[in-house]
Structure 1
């Protein structure tokens, strides 16, 4: 096993379906940090904002831990979007019936790494 697997950040129980976040995450995966942030800032989606915050947190962890790093030296190595817990609610319908409303959530975990180490 590798001693340092990069710098991580995890956001749990975000109020959005993983199904909606994954297509945006696919656009950003394995891109350099600056390019990934520029892409996410230009997207109007709510999921782009959530992803941007988690990626910036992972980069801040990297820059805080290793003072020699610069933003241009980072790459998004891993980006995983998993399903979180779902909240079940009752949705009233006509004639006294009820449907079930499922409010989904997701977990986003990001690993950023130095570009030189990612190529090895």
Structure 2
């Protein structure tokens, strides 16, 4: 089976914060990744969990003829790209203003099949 992927675009979270959540699951099995993300109490973990569920559904749907089991899937690759930045200004002392950058992220998760376990099944 070829890799299946899912993505979420224009998520209103900084890419730096989302990368922290992704670093925890990259290369792990899907079941372990779901456990880790459901225990992490961050905004990034919720977004990653949602995309992970979508990637699992895509893999099962794509591999219906092969009867893909979610137990045999692992996180092959996961990355975050920066999205568009919205700029806001906050008034400061003495007539000045400072810029506030509201960053967005594009998240992509690619799932692969563990070949050794797939052959046994």
Common fold by TM > 0.5: yes
Helix, strand or coil for the counterpart of 2:13?
coil
2:5 to 3, 8, 11: 8
Q: How much has 1:82 moved relative to structure 2?
A: 1.2
TM-score by length of structure 1 reads 0.89
2:35 to 32, 35, 38: 38
| Unaligned segments of structure 1, at least 5 residues | none
Structure 1 residues 68-112: Cα deviation after superposition (integer angstroms, max 9, x where no partner): 011101111010111111100111112322111100111111110
Q: Are residue 81 (structure 1) and residue 80 (structure 2) matched?
A: yes
Helix, strand or coil for the counterpart of 1:91?
strand
Q: Which residue of 2 aligns with 1:99?
A: 98
TM-score by length of structure 2 reads 0.89
| Unaligned segments of structure 2, at least 5 residues | 117-121
- Length, aligned pairs only: 115
The ranges of structure 1 where at least 4 consecutive aligned residues each deviate by more than 2 angstroms after the TM superposition are: none
